């Protein structure tokens, strides 16, 4: 045991030796694809000398250009005349029937589907964007069920 400890203590602790080994794959003649610098929805982009870029050698980096935050922003607000509405998103999709209060002068969001609801008297097209009526929303949900 003591000889093992003595042997390990004599190893060089120069980190540049290990760094040279870890970046050797980057020095190959294979080129990276052009889309390796594509930024993801989290803002993730690798530096030129980052060892994680090696996973994209001879492969395309697959980044979905449809970020969820943009898709939710495109979804129209459901404008309602009532103080309480229900959201169920078309049945057996893991979304129970939820009742949403619209008493406050702001957009209320369904916690399951992310659908935005607002009462008619608080709706401002310039502030809240495009809208559909509650009846149109119910028709959409019926179309999903069938």
pLDDT at 123 > cutoff 80: yes
β-strand partners of 44: none
Count of alpha carbons within 13 angstroms of residue 30, beta-carbon side:
13
Q: In what order do the strands lie in the sheet with 108-109?
A: 108-109, 116-119, 77-80, 131-133
Give yes or no: residues 87 and 50 share one domain. Answer: no
Q: Which is more confident, 44 or 15?
A: 44
Q: Which is more confident, 107 or 97?
A: 107
Give the separation between CA 90 and CA 93, rounded to whole angstroms.
7
Domain of 119, CATH number, reads 2.60.260.40
CB contact set of 5 (below 8 Å; sequence gap of 6+): none
Give yes or no: residues 104 and 125 share one domain. Answer: yes
pLDDT at 122 > cutoff 90: yes
Give yes or no: residues 87 and 139 share one domain. Answer: yes
Give yes or no: residues 47 and 81 share one domain. Answer: no
Domain membership of residue 90 (yes or no) is yes
Give yes or no: residues 139 and 99 share one domain. Answer: yes
Domain carrying residue 46 = 2-56
Q: Which is more confident, 102 or 11?
A: 102
* Mean pLDDT (the chain, rounded): 79
Number of domains in the chain: 2
Domain membership of residue 62 (yes or no) is no
Domain membership of residue 61 (yes or no) is no
Residue 127 phi, psi (nearest 5): -90, -40
Digit-coded pLDDT (tens) for 19-77: 544 555 555 555 666 667 777 777 778 788 888 877 777 777 777 888 887 888 888 99
Residue 58 phi, psi (nearest 5): 65, 15
């Amino acid at each position: 045991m003591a000889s093992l400890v003595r042997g390990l203590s004599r190893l060089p602790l120069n980190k540049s030796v290990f760094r040279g080994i870890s970046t050797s794959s980057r020095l190959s003649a294979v080129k990276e694809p052009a889309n390796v610098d594509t930024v993801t929805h989290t803002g993730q982009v690798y530096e030129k000398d980052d060892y994680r870029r090696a996973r994209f050698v001879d492969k395309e980096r697959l980044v979905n250009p449809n970020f969820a935050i943009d898709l939710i922003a495109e979804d129209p607000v459901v404008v309602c005349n009532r103080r309480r509405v229900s959201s169920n998103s078309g049945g057996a999709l893991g979304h129970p029937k939820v009742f949403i209060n619209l008493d406050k002068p702001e957009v209320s969001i369904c916690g399951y589907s992310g659908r935005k609801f607002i009462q008619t008297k608080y709706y401002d097209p310039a502030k809240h964007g495009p809208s559909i009526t509650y009846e149109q929303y119910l028709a959409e949900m019926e179309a999903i069920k069938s």
